[in-house]
């Protein structure tokens, strides 16, 4: 369930441009009116959803990734597209037909890009399915409770950000444990569905139209896993505990890496508090991708993300960005997985790298071409004499050196949150403060 742009006729291209102008101008009424005009002119509602609205949302993501749209502008454009989809659903309801069955569509826990899943839900409704659309960020226990209550024929799970793959794995396993087959989609699972197969999903679809076609032929039966089966049993490489180590110590890794970066690049010491906070958030995001690469045992997931950030960031704002990224990559990799550090350090003269398998420029990224071989990264610094002094810092900037995939900035993952404060011993008076001149424990006052 991705937002990949499809070939379109000249007439559809005009509707796309009209909708694009409306969302950029934050003009909801014009956007809705343009979509209604397309339907009234004979464009099938499914084509309006997938060949007009989806390409516009894809373009929104491209503009955000290229720094031609702010986060606020991207949010506003996405909200208008969501409202347009809702208006379209009530403009010309589909003709009554025999209901095919019931489907649940949801985003995995931690995934806030709901528009691809929303498009799938609307396409399935148009094709006669009864759809329960649960929206973004659905925790697995609540999803399973819904499945017990409604008994759907299948579940459609959507995820756009690769760092949600561990939680997607838990959701897939939980759904299959109650004998509900799982169809997955979204850029997180890779353009060829490689991570869907790795995590044991029953089916994968690259886009909403393919998913609807697949469901029309029936999902394969799924059997609950054997008693005592755990998600880790499907990924034996997790037995080395590398993923658990990185996920558990991520805040400490970020802190240590930031300290070492300041020693390696003295210009960072002149950062404002806000700049330091953004840099720490970026390092935490890099650590999240490192942990996910360890979970999937796929070096390209991590190196592909670093390549994507290299294309998306603006080096003019921060001259040492690329050196910092290579150095951070080599440090984090060597601290955790020798395989990652060794396999991803390649000569800088290699050809221009392609995006990683689970990355796309759209806010809810669309499917991308098959990735090229592992992206080329220049090797990190080699030990030697004291490095030459760093160049004088540019004027302070107010952006992080690494651009995060859209949506991640506003919903930090567990690695970003500080540990909960330690609780001290509970007072024996159960939290009630003693009054002046009166003992806190009345029993003590009555004792001889």
Q: What is the mean predicted confidence (pLDDT) over 380-387?
A: 43
Please tell me the predicted confidence (pLDDT) of residue 5: 55
Report CA dihedral (184, 186, 191, 194) to the nearest 10 degrees: -40
The per-residue pLDDT for range 319-373, each reduced to its tens digit, is 344 444 554 555 555 545 444 433 333 333 333 333 333 333 333 433 434 443 3
**Per-residue pLDDT band at 11 (split at 50, 70, 90):** confident
Above pLDDT 70, what percent of the chain? Answer: 63
Within 10 angstroms of residue 250's Cβ, the number of other Cβ atoms is 21
What is the rounded radius of gyration, in angstroms, for the C-alpha atoms of the chain?
A: 25
Q: Return the closest-CA partner of residue 246 out of 331, 171, 162.
A: 331
CB count within 10 Å of CB 67 equals 13
pLDDT of residue 209: 95
Domains and CATH numbers, the chain: 1-93 (1.10.1240.10), 98-234 (3.40.50.280), 238-416 (no CATH)
CB 352 within 8 A of CB 53: no
- Paired tokens of 254: 């970020």
């Amino acid at each position: 369930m991705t937002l990949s742009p499809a070939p379109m006729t000249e007439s559809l291209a005009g509707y796309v441009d009209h909708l694009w102008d409306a969302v950029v101008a934050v003009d909801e009424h014009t956007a809705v009116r343009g979509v209604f005009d397309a339907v009234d002119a004979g464009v099938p509602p499914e084509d309006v959803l997938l060949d007009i609205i989806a390409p516009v949302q894809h373009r929104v993501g491209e503009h955000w990734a290229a720094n031609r749209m702010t986060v606020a502008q991207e949010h506003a454009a996405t909200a208008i597209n969501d409202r347009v989809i809702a208006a379209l659903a009530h403009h010309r309801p589909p003709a009554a037909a025999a209901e095919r069955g019931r489907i649940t569509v949801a985003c995995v826990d931690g995934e806030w890009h709901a528009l691809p899943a929303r498009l799938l839900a609307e396409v399935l409704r148009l094709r006669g399915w009864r759809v329960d659309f649960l929206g973004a960020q659905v925790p697995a226990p609540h999803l399973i409770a819904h499945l017990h209550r409604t008994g759907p024929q299948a579940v459609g799970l959507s995820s756009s950000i690769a760092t949600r793959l561990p939680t997607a794995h838990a959701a897939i396993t939980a759904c299959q444990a109650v004998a509900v087959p799982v169809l997955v989609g979204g850029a997180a699972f890779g353009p060829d569905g490689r991570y869907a197969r790795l995590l044991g999903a029953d089916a994968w679809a690259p886009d909403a139209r393919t998913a609807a076609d697949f469901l029309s032929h029936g999902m394969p039966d799924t059997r609950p896993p054997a008693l005592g089966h755990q998600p880790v049993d499907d990924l034996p490489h997790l037995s080395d505990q590398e993923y658990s180590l990185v996920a558990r110590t991520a805040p400490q890794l970020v802190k240590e890496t930031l300290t070492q970066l300041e020693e390696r690049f003295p210009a960072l010491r002149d950062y404002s508090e806000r700049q330091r906070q953004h840099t720490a958030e970026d390092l935490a995001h890099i650590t999240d991708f490192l942990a996910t690469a360890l979970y999937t045992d796929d070096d390209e997931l991590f190196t592909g993300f670093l390549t994507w950030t290299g294309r998306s960031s603006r080096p003019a704002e921060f001259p040492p960005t690329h050196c910092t990224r290579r150095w951070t990559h080599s440090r984090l990799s060597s601290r955790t997985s020798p395989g990652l550090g060794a396999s991803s350090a390649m000569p800088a003269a290699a050809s221009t790298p392609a995006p990683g398998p689970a990355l796309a420029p759209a806010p809810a990224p669309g499917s991308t071409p098959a990735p090229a071989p592992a992206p080329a990264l220049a090797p990190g610094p080699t030990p030697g004499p004291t490095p030459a002094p760093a160049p004088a810092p540019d004027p302070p900037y107010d952006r992080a050196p690494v651009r995060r995939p859209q949506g991640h900035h506003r919903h930090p993952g567990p690695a970003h949150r500080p540990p909960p404060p330690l609780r001290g011993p509970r007072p024996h008076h159960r939290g009630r403060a003693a009054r002046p001149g009166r003992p806190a424990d009345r029993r003590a006052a009555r004792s001889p």
